[in-house]
Amino acid sequence: MNVFLGIDVGSVSSNFVIVDEDLQVLDAIYLRTQGKPLEIIKTGLMQIYTRLSKNQRISGVGTTGSGRQLAALVVGADVVKNEITAHAVAAAHSVPDVHTVLEIGGQDSKIIILEQGIVADFAMNTVCAAGTGSFLDQQAARLGLSIEKFSQLALEATNPVRIAGRCSVFAESDMIHKQQLGHGLPDIVAGLCQALVRNYLNNVGKGKDIREPIIFQGGVAANPGIKVAFEKALNTKIIVPKWFGVMGALGAAILAQETVAKKGESSFRGIELVESQYKTASFDCQGCPNVCEVIELLVDEKLYARWGDKCGKWTDNLQKVKASNN
């Protein structure tokens, strides 16, 4: 039986999803990237392999997320797609008539408007990451709570406090201030959820045609406090899809299936790739005042890929190096 793998290497988490030929999710793995994308890709693949049944064979791989290029090089992906399109594909697959996708991830947030299953408009946070998963993580840690406990707490609130959500640094001082005044923790956490939602709708969602059906996905959708705050602010029902946390990877897996169906074969490197040693190294090119940081990927001590140069000097010369290696 042919199965397809989608990998989403994000800033905070890396996700792996396996779908069958009918695009039903068979397995999903959610791992923290912890700044080590290469190791996480290997760990994720190993876990996937130990959990696959004997008759299942990976016949296509797609990658997405901010680490998509790196992941694609390591696994030999059939398709590399930006996370906006990948998320939209997964959303349209989960709720076929979806109109609005609210997505909040580790360091970015986006809104996608679909019409007949195709992206009609989208927006992503600009230069500021306030109100994304990383901030919630930080605040939970500061209050000494696990993120799971933190997200449940908001539901116990009776009178959410008002917190400025414009900037995460100010939001934090606001929270501390409210604590000192003696407000209860649930009210503060709920206030924070409302602030994030306000910020999201005023920045990313500004001027967008937000209509039902609305789905809420991304890692932060695990937080029921945020979902409730969205429902209150928009005065509608919000759907959180079953695979909300791994929608990017699901989208990549769906795209992998479609790509392989078109081109007939997969470029996936197979299980052997987990046995190779992966290393990255970087150096500053001194060729011009741009001083580009060139990054090299070494597979079993052999130069495999190179990127980061603006002029293409190092990327171009890679073929020669590869030829002399063999």
Partner 1 sequence: MVKVGIPRALWYYKYFPLWESFFKDLGAEIIVSPVTNKNILDQGVKLIVDEACLPVKVFFGHVNYLKDKVDYIFCPRIVSVEKKKFTCPKFMGIPDNLYPNISGFPQIIGPTINLSKNDRDLYKTIWEVGKLFTNNPLKVTLAWQNGLKKLKKFNHTLEEGKIPSQLIKLPNLEGEFLNIAVIGHEYLIYDSYLSMNILAKLTELDLNPLTPQMVSKITIEKELEIIPKRIFWTSAQDLLGSTFYFTKKEDVAGIILVSAFGCGPDAITQSLITHFHKNYAKKPVLLLTIDEHSGEAGITTRLEAFADLIKRKVV
Instruction: Give dist(CA 149, CA 31) in Å, integer.
Output: 19
296: three-class secondary structure by DSSP: strand
CB of 310 to partner 1, least distance (A): 8
Assess contact for 279 and 37: CB atoms under 8 A. Answer: no
CB of 135 to partner 1, least distance (A): 18
User: Helices 133-142 and 168-181 sit at what angle, rounded to 10 degrees?
Assistant: 30
Instruction: Give dist(CA 4, CA 58) in Å, integer.
Output: 5
CB of 11 to partner 1, least distance (A): 10
When the beta carbons of 42 and 93 are compared against partner 1, the nearer one is 93
When the beta carbons of 116 and 235 are compared against partner 1, the nearer one is 116
Instruction: Let me know if 85 is exposed, middle or buried by CB neighbors in 10 A (0-12, 13-18, 19+).
Output: middle
When the beta carbons of 172 and 258 are compared against partner 1, the nearer one is 258
When the beta carbons of 71 and 163 are compared against partner 1, the nearer one is 71
When the beta carbons of 121 and 148 are compared against partner 1, the nearer one is 121
CB of 126 to partner 1, least distance (A): 4
The distance between the two most distant Cα atoms of the chain, rounded to a whole number of Å, is 69
CB of 165 to partner 1, least distance (A): 19
When the beta carbons of 161 and 292 are compared against partner 1, the nearer one is 292
Q: How many CB atoms lie within 10 A of CB 143?
A: 15
When the beta carbons of 85 and 276 are compared against partner 1, the nearer one is 85
| Unique residue bearing structure tokens 């992906």 | 77
CB of 84 to partner 1, least distance (A): 4
Assess contact for 165 and 244: CB atoms under 8 A. Answer: no
Assess contact for 7 and 75: CB atoms under 8 A. Answer: yes
Q: Which positions lie near partner 1, rule CB under 8 A?
A: 66, 79, 81-85, 89, 108, 118-124, 126-127, 206-207, 255, 258-259, 262, 288-291
Instruction: Give dist(CA 21, CA 2) in Å, integer.
Output: 7
CB of 85 to partner 1, least distance (A): 5
| CB half-sphere exposure, 66, CA atoms < 13 A | 13
Query: What six digits make up the tokens of 302?
Result: 């052999």
CB of 77 to partner 1, least distance (A): 13
Query: From start to end of the chain, where are the E strands?
Result: 2-9, 13-20, 25-32, 57-64, 79-80, 100-104, 109-115, 118-124, 214-217, 238-239, 278-284, 293-299, 302-307
When the beta carbons of 43 and 85 are compared against partner 1, the nearer one is 85
Sheet containing strand 57-64, strands side by side: 25-32, 13-20, 2-9, 57-64, 79-80
CB of 308 to partner 1, least distance (A): 9
When the beta carbons of 66 and 139 are compared against partner 1, the nearer one is 66
